[in-house]
Structure 1
C-alpha cells in the first residue's frame, strides 16, 4: 500500500489502519535509556521518597515524571 492511500484511509477514519502495520517490529524512537547520577541531600532524598510513597510509585518513576512534566512545560512556554 502506498503512503498516500494509507493517509487517505486514516483521514477518512472508517477503517482501522493498524492492520497494515507489523506491530511486532514497532519500536519507540529515542526510547533508549541512560543511567544518570543525582546528588541530593539526605533531607531532599527523604522528601522525595515520602512523595513517591504517597503516590505509590518508585523514586525513579517520580523523578522521570517530574523531569518530563518540566520539559513539556518549558517546551510549551518556548513556543
Structure 2
C-alpha cells in the first residue's frame, strides 16, 4: 500500500489501518528497561510502602513515578533557562 492510501485510510478514520502495519518489529524509543539496585534506609522503604498502598500502586511504580516527575521537572527548568 502506498503512503497516500495509508494516510487516506487514517484520515478517514478507518479502523483497520493496523492490519496494514508490521508490528512485529515495532519498538518504543527510550522504553528499554534496565535493572538497577538501590539501597534505601528502612524508614524510607516503610514510607514508600505506605504511600504506594495509599494510592494503590507497587513500591516500584511509585519510585518510577517520582523519579520520572523529578527528571521532567529538571528538564523543564533547563528549557526555561534556555529561553
Structure 1 gaps, min length 5: none
What does residue 70 of structure 1 align with?
A: 70
Structure 2 gaps, min length 5: none
Q: Does 2:43 align with 1:43?
A: yes
Runs of 4+ off more than 6 Å: none
Which structure is higher in RCO with an 8 Å CA cutoff and minimum separation 6? 2
Give the number of aligned pairs. Answer: 75
What does residue 26 of structure 2 align with?
A: 26
Calculate the TM-score normalised by the size of structure 1: 0.71
Residues 15-62 of structure 1 deviation map (CA, whole Å, 9 limit, x = unaligned): 567665323321112322111111211111100010011111110111
What does residue 58 of structure 1 align with?
A: 58
Calculate the TM-score normalised by the size of structure 2: 0.68
Compared CA separation, residues 76 and 20, structure 1 to 2 (3 A): farther
RMSD (Å), alpha carbons: 2.5
